[in-house]
Amino acid sequence: MKKSFILIMMLVLSVMYLNAQVNQEFIINKYKPIAEKIISKVMSDSSSYKNLGYVCDVFGHRLSGSENLENAIRWIVKEMKNDGLDNVRTDSVMVPHWVRGKEECIMTSPWKHKIPVLAFGGSISTPKGGIKAKVLVVNGFDDLAAKKDLAKGRIVVYNVPFKNYGQAVQFRFVGAINAAQAGAIASLTRSVTPQNLVSVHTGMMVYADTVEKIPHGAISIEDAELLQRLQDRGISPEMSLTLESESLPDVLSYNVLGELRGNEKAEEIIAFGGHIDGWDLGTGAHDDASACIASWGAIKILKDLGLAPKRTLRSVMWANEENGARGGKAYAAQHGDEPHALVFEWDSGCFAPSAVRFTCDSSLFQILKQMEPILKLINKDLVVDNRGGGVDIGPMMRLGYPGGSLSTNDQGKYFVYHHSDSDTFEKIVFEEYNQCLAAMAVSLYIYADLPIDYFKYIKKN
């Protein structure tokens, strides 16, 4: 017993000693020269940027269940193998198969006006022949409740200005439920965007089993405001609406994985990437092909430089984030028992990187914070901060693993492109893309190589 106690104490003391040596001086002395090599290589390399352009332009939008997505996945797997990534493979994921059909919205009174419209992902179709009804414009759920007696038999239009994504997206996400509860026969939402360019933005919505399902879609800021002004003048606009969307049986898709195997603790994994699916608009360059291709590119850069950290770096391209998040759930079900030192995603748009974020034990975070001076070699405004996370890594974080994410400074641009036809490759700035790639490559290389017992800090659920 005494001998066992002594061995345990020696192990504890050795871990404490090891972690005590991981201070800022140690990190800068060991990793700054390596980081400079990585940054120099990344900023002069265009291969990942070209791969991003190829995926966007050649395969197009990549909605779950689409042939476009599966064609893109097959090409990515082939090219990752050609680049020499370790253990390239796909994991099966059953995903929703929702398809958009004919969409038409016309204000028929007080004058005839064609209104661009998009069904939200998951919306049911209108009855055959469409819907013809008066419009009720509301400025939120409280306003809808106050006007409940007027909503019955009408098309409810949510005209709520964009303040931030969390504030505005609720009307897209659960707007149909609230409108149906008030007796509406359909609902439309002012697009979740801060900029009025007659642009229409889609996204995911949900129904409640206890509430009648009604068609639900988006219109532009301009048209929501027009309907509002008419109503404010005492005029009840009338509208005809046709949405022919359909939910088909689930289909098979895949998460894509490729690795750089660790040279000392290969069984410990740092999984990082983004979601390979997108909406059936634009080509998903910002959301989220940029992150997927950058995670692949980061591993290729490290391999080209002959750099392998202690732990395994795993590029993951998750399926079906946009309308079901099944890729992240499947990854946790299939890999949750593997020892993950970190799960990390980038899903904030491709702009200049502003923060590498970690959600982890506070003592561990204080160690990670010490890499900040090195990251400033990429961008002087780049910091290490807390509150990392995301939809795809959420299931793994709920198992107790640390989570991380890359934040970017979009200067108000991201939600101009988000979930719309404007999210295309030419919006990606080469230098900003490579800065994001470098931020991931450097920070995750350091994380994967630090002489730390990460599992001292991890309490797996």
In tens, the pLDDT along 306-322 reads 999 999 999 999 999 99
User: Are residues 209 and 272 part of one domain?
Assistant: no
Residues with active-site annotation: 321
Last residue of a domain, one of 244, 261, 285: 244
Buried residues in 263-282 as b, exposed as e (16+ CB within 10 A): eebbebbbbbbbbbbbbbbb
User: Are residues 266 and 165 part of one domain?
Assistant: no
Structural domain that includes position 231: 101-244
pLDDT tens-digit map of 240-270:
999 999 999 999 999 999 999 999 999 999 9
* Mean per-residue pLDDT, 403-419: 97
Q: How are strands ordered across the β-sheet holding 113-114?
A: 113-114, 103-109, 238-243, 131-138, 155-158, 186-190, 216-219, 118-119
Residue 209 lies in a domain: yes
Last residue of a domain, one of 224, 244, 264: 244
User: Are residues 283 and 185 part of one domain?
Assistant: no
User: Are residues 221 and 173 part of one domain?
Assistant: yes
Residue 300 lies in a domain: yes
Average pLDDT, the chain: 95
Q: Is the pTM higher than 0.75?
A: yes
Burial group, residue 209, by CB count within 10 angstroms (0-12, 13-18, 19+): exposed
* Mean per-residue pLDDT, 201-225: 98
User: Are residues 411 and 286 part of one domain?
Assistant: yes
User: Are residues 427 and 319 part of one domain?
Assistant: yes
**To which residue do tokens 């800022």 refer?**
24
User: Are residues 279 and 132 part of one domain?
Assistant: no
User: Are residues 283 and 259 part of one domain?
Assistant: yes
Residue 49 lies in a domain: yes
Share of the chain above pLDDT 70, in %: 96
User: Are residues 105 and 93 part of one domain?
Assistant: no
Tokens of 420: 């719309």
User: Are residues 146 and 50 part of one domain?
Assistant: no
* Mean per-residue pLDDT, 130-138: 98
In this structure, what DSSP letter does residue 354 have? E
* Cα-Cα end-to-end distance for the chain: 30
Structurally, how many domains does the chain consist of? 2
User: Are residues 65 and 130 part of one domain?
Assistant: no
d(CA 44, CA 341): 30
pLDDT tens-digit map of 48-87:
999 999 999 999 999 999 999 999 999 999 999 999 999 9
pLDDT tens-digit map of 369-383:
999 999 999 999 999
Query: Residue 5: pLDDT band by 50, 70, 90 thresholds?
Result: very low
Residue 12: predicted pLDDT? 43
Residue 12 lies in a domain: no
pLDDT tens-digit map of 183-197:
999 999 999 999 888
Contact 153, 182 (CB under 8 A): no
Q: What is the dihedral of CA 9, 12, 15, 17, to 10 degrees?
A: -60
What is the residue-wise DSSP string for 14-27? Answer: HHHHHHHH-SHHHH
Mapping DSSP to helix (H, G, I), strand (E, B) and coil, where does residue 460 land?
coil
pLDDT tens-digit map of 324-345:
999 999 999 999 999 999 999 9
Residue 460: predicted pLDDT? 80
* Mean per-residue pLDDT, 350-354: 98
